[in-house]
């Protein structure tokens, strides 16, 4: 009877989402017709954003609930297929949708670390964690840690780690929401962040995991359609083949040929590129000379340099025919001049580094670990492998992903759900490399070599959002765009691809809606994870175990709102690009959770003391390394073995395993009850869940 009920529910969901998909396609066709009728693109952009947010809001309102099981785990009745779609949407965050193709665009082969790491991570989820945690049958990851290791100490560390990982991750999602909102509404980024926040809150606030799950299924449909249409369009445009994964090789050959021309100083295009790189080399040298003079002469040198700038302003104003544009630029140079030696050092180091990055020849997209010498090649290879490992392990330990497997009706459905998750994620991941190459080909052939007087409108539009995302400056004053004169941020590539390729605006709006869906879907799950950790694991489990349902849910919703507003504020400070923030979250999760979860399932000897030592050691090591090496914090300590800060988990994870193993071996073994719990969880084929669910 239960089986029949599950099948009936799945069939009902299939009908609902089939109607929804048809309605969405009809809406896209309507917008396309309106575009052909001459409706302004800004209005069409508002229509896309409003329609998608209102849709999610509608699902959130219809899914509102006051039931604890529905709020925390969607009533444990989500069929495997739909949980796979929801997990895919939860997983395909702003990093996957917006950032991954951009990273592949900028770093070529090296960017495949994200594809390999995240895909491999789901294999670890399937093998080591998903079925076992579902067998345990509670609400959150700290629930498992608290029951497995005993006491509130481990649970508290788990809560802190879950909040830290999820908060770092959610900042990246809100950044993506702010980016899209800002670009397509014309609002400032800091304001767009808070406007977009409303769309994030509307689902998770009302219905918890139930609302988030059914919204994420809808969001997956939008985001995968939005991702596939432009890349298929580009594939047909350049190769006549509608399968971009097949056309990928042909376009990559064309990109490689173009890179060789641009790097060859004996060709006209290559000579222009070399000319621009030489100018950047001069700028690098000038900045380094300033730093040297500042170190030698201090404040006196700073005062002299500012006086020179002031004199330039005075001379321009004293001219017979003052140039207002030149005067304004000179006055801005004075206003932007560093106020003290510390600010000057930071500014000139940044200028030197930015110029240096433009002096190198174009790195071949298809070349693995490209570098000027063997040392540089080895460094890239080392960081590639470290990042793959951190992403794999982090995937298998992220609380908001693991919580998804608490929502299925059974252990078998949890296993099936992992398969569907991999399938739905594969559709995007297998397409991202093709999108990166197709976009790069368009930049190389359409933008490079064009006239500055005829730059497309999307260049200035994106530059107005953030100059680190898009800027083109005529360095050698020849009026022609060279590749070295273009600055493109990775977070722009996917969102701007339709504009770069000259596709109809309806496709641009569709991609924006897809990016918004990706960011919102993950942000919903992350905020819910944070709120649940505080309300369920701290308040209910540790402070007031007898709290009524209404109070528990009210506290969860209040905390969710407060965390969301604080996360939006932090995002407005722009602490890093999307992909770094996401990568940092994975390193933190790998360090704090993976050793404790895996050993908790597969090693009965692991005990509370070991878990406390291991989780603190892993999380502490990882966080310390990030703080010391990530530029945002301003410490800029030397790297350990040349490992970038995004892969800090490579140090934190071993520390976690060593801490748990040594701590457990040096103290008493867990109780018989705990060891029996491990036996029960370890064999997920057994019937029934653990009788540990909260009332």
291-296, Cβ contacts within 8 angstroms, sequence gap of 24 or more: 291/345, 291/348, 291/349, 291/352, 294/341, 294/344, 294/345, 294/348
Q: How far apart are the first and last CA of the chain?
A: 25
Query: Measuring CA to CA, how many Å separate 426 from each of 277, 290, 315, 433, 592?
Result: 39, 50, 62, 12, 27
State the pLDDT at residue 203: 54
Cα 36 from Cα 646, distance rounded (Å): 45
pLDDT band at 618 (very low <50, low <70, confident <90, very high): very high
> Within a 10 A sphere around the Cβ of 429, how many other Cβ atoms?
19
Model confidence at 355: pLDDT above 60: yes
What is the average pLDDT value for the chain, to the nearest integer?
80
Model confidence at 19: pLDDT above 80: yes
Residues 561-595 have pLDDT tens digits of 777 778 777 777 766 666 677 778 888 889 988 89
Could you tell me if 458 and 428 are in contact, meaning their C-beta atoms sit under 8 angstroms apart?
no
Its pTM stands at 0.75
State the pLDDT at residue 543: 77
Model confidence at 312: pLDDT above 50: yes
Could you tell me if 468 and 487 are in contact, meaning their C-beta atoms sit under 8 angstroms apart?
yes
Could you tell me if 512 and 230 are in contact, meaning their C-beta atoms sit under 8 angstroms apart?
no
State the pLDDT at residue 51: 79
- Report the DSSP beta bridge partners of residue 629: none
The CA-based angle 280-284-287, given to 5 degrees, is: 135
Cα 107 from Cα 369, distance rounded (Å): 9
pLDDT band at 362 (very low <50, low <70, confident <90, very high): confident
Question: Quick one: what percent of the chain has pLDDT higher than 90?
Answer: 8
Residues 319-338 have pLDDT tens digits of 877 878 888 888 888 888 88
pLDDT band at 688 (very low <50, low <70, confident <90, very high): very low
Cα 39 from Cα 43, distance rounded (Å): 7
Could you tell me if 616 and 160 are in contact, meaning their C-beta atoms sit under 8 angstroms apart?
no
- Please give the structure tokens belonging to residue 120: 């491999």
Could you tell me if 486 and 472 are in contact, meaning their C-beta atoms sit under 8 angstroms apart?
yes
- Which of 182-196, 506-520, 550-564, 636-650 is the least confident region? 182-196
Cα 335 from Cα 459, distance rounded (Å): 26
Model confidence at 458: pLDDT above 60: yes
């Amino acid at each position: 009877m239960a089986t029949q009920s599950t099948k009936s529910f799945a069939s009902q969901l299939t009908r609902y989402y089939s109607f929804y998909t048809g309605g969405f396609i009809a809406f896209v066709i309507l917008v396309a017709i309106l575009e052909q009728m001459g409706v302004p693109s800004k209005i069409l952009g508002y229509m896309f954003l409003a329609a998608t947010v209102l849709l999610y809001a509608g699902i959130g309102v219809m899914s509102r609930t006051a039931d604890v099981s529905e709020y925390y785990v969607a009533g444990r009745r989500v069929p495997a297929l739909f949980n796979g779609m929801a997990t895919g949407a939860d997983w395909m965050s702003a990093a996957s949708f917006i950032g991954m193709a951009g990273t592949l665009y900028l770093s070529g082969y090296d960017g495949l670390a994200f594809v390999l790491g995240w895909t491999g991570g789901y294999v670890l989820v399937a093998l080591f964690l998903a079925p076992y945690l579902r067998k345990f049958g509670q609400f959150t990851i700290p629930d498992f840690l608290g029951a497995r290791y005993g006491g509130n100490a481990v649970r508290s560390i788990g809560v802190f780690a879950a909040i830290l990982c999820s908060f770092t991750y959610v900042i990246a999602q809100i950044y993506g929401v702010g980016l899209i909102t800002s670009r397509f509404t014309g609002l400032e980024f800091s304001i767009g962040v808070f406007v977009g926040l409303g769309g994030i809150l509307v689902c998770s606030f009302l219905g918890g995991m139930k609302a988030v799950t059914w919204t994420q299924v809808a969001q997956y449909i939008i985001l995968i359609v939005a991702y596939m249409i432009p890349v298929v369009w580009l594939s047909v445009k350049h190769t006549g083949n509608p399968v971009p994964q097949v056309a990928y090789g042909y376009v990559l050959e064309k990109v490689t040929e173009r890179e060789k021309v641009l790097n060859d100083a004996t060709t006209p295009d290559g000579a222009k590129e070399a000319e621009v790189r030489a100018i950047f080399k001069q700028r690098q040298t000038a900045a380094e000379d300033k730093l040297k003079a500042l170190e030698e002469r201090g404040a006196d040198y700073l005062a002299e340099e500012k006086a020179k700038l002031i004199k330039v302003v005075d001379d321009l104003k004293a001219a017979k025919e003052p140039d207002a544009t030149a005067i304004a630029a000179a006055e801005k140079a004075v206003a932007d001049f560093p106020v003290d030696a510390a600010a000057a050092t930071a500014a000139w180091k940044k200028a030197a580094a930015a110029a240096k990055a433009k002096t190198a020849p174009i790195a071949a997209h298809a070349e693995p670990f490209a570098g000027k010498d063997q040392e540089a090649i080895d460094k890239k290879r080392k960081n590639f492998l470290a990042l793959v490992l951190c992403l794999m392990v982090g995937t298998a330990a992220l609380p908001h992903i693991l919580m998804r497997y608490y929502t299925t009706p059974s252990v078998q459905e949890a296993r099936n759900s992992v398969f569907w998750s991999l399938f739905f994620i594969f559709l995007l991941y297998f397409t991202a490399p093709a999108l990166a190459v197709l976009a790069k080909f368009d930049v190389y052939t359409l933008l490079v070599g064009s006239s500055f007087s005829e730059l497309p409108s999307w260049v200035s539009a994106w530059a107005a959002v953030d100059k680190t995302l898009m800027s083109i400056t005529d360095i050698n004053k020849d009026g022609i765009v060279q590749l070295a004169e273009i600055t493109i941020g990775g977070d722009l590539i996917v969102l701007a691809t339709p504009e770069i390729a000259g596709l109809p605006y309806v496709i641009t709006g569709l991609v924006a809606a897809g990016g918004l869906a990706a960011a919102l879907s993950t942000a919903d799950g992350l905020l819910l994870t944070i709120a649940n950790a505080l309300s369920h694991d701290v308040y209910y489990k540790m402070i007031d175990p007898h709290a009524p349902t209404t109070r528990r849910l009210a506290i969860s919703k209040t905390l969710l709102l407060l965390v969301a507003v604080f996360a939006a504020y932090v995002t407005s400070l722009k602490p890093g690009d999307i992909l770094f923030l996401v990568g940092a979250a994975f390193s933190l999760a790998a360090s704090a959770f993976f050793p404790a979860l895996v050993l908790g399932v597969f090693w009965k000897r692991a005990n509370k003391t070991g878990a406390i030592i291991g989780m603190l050691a892993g999380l502490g090591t990882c966080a310390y390394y990030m703080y010391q090496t990530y530029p945002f914090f301003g410490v800029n300590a030397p790297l350990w073995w040349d490992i970038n800060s995004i892969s800090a988990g490579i140090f934190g994870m071993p520390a976690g395993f060593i801490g748990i193993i040594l701590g457990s071996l040096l103290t008493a073994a867990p109780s018989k009850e705990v060891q029996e719990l491990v036996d029960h969880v370890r064999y997920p084929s057994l019937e029934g869940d653990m009788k540990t669910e909260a009332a």
